[in-house]
């Protein structure tokens, strides 16, 4: 699940569109709030994060792992590789919430 940090003063909806464009090279439509999930992040020191999760549709472009992304791929919702998910503290509950809606 792609993500990143908001710029100072940036609206979360604008931030998700920017991050997806930077990380995957696509533009979004029908962006909808899913939930907020807590975690921590360590880079020089430990900080606590609120991970704001949205669902969306791609309006233009084809998903491609950009410079700071190792890889990008789709998974069938019935074949999610649960043990290999990055940031499982928030990705697992977010995906579970999404699955309940779909």
Tell me the per-residue pLDDT of 3-13, one tens digit each, with 9 for 90 and over: 889 999 999 99
Q: Which residues contact 85 (CB under 8 A, 6 or more apart)?
A: 91, 92, 95
CATH of 12-101, one of 1.10.3720.10, 3.40.1190.20, 3.90.79.10, 3.40.50.300: 3.90.79.10
Instruction: Annotate the chain with DSSP letters as a single string.
Output: -----PPTT--HHHHHHHHHHHHH--EEEEEEEEEEEEEEEEESEEEEEEEEEEEEEEEES-----TT-S------TTS--GGG-SSHHHHHHHHHHHHHH-
- How much of the chain exceeds pLDDT 70, in percent? 100
pLDDT band at residue 17 using 50, 70 and 90 as cut-offs? very high
pTM for this model (two decimals): 0.87
Tell me the per-residue pLDDT of 39-66, one tens digit each, with 9 for 90 and over: 998 889 999 999 999 999 999 999 999 9
Domain residue ranges in the chain: 12-101
């Amino acid at each position: 699940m792609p993500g990143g940090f908001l710029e100072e003063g940036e609206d979360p909806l604008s931030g998700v569109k920017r991050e997806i464009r930077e990380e995957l090279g696509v533009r979004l439509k029908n962006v909808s709030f899913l939930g907020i999930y807590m975690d921590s992040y360590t880079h020089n020191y430990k900080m606590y994060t609120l991970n704001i999760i949205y669902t969306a549709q791609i309006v233009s472009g084809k998903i491609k792992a950009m410079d700071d992304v190792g890889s990008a791929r789709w998974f069938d919702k019935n074949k999610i590789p649960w043990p290999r998910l990055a940031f499982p503290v928030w990705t697992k509950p977010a995906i579970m919430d999404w699955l309940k809606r779909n």
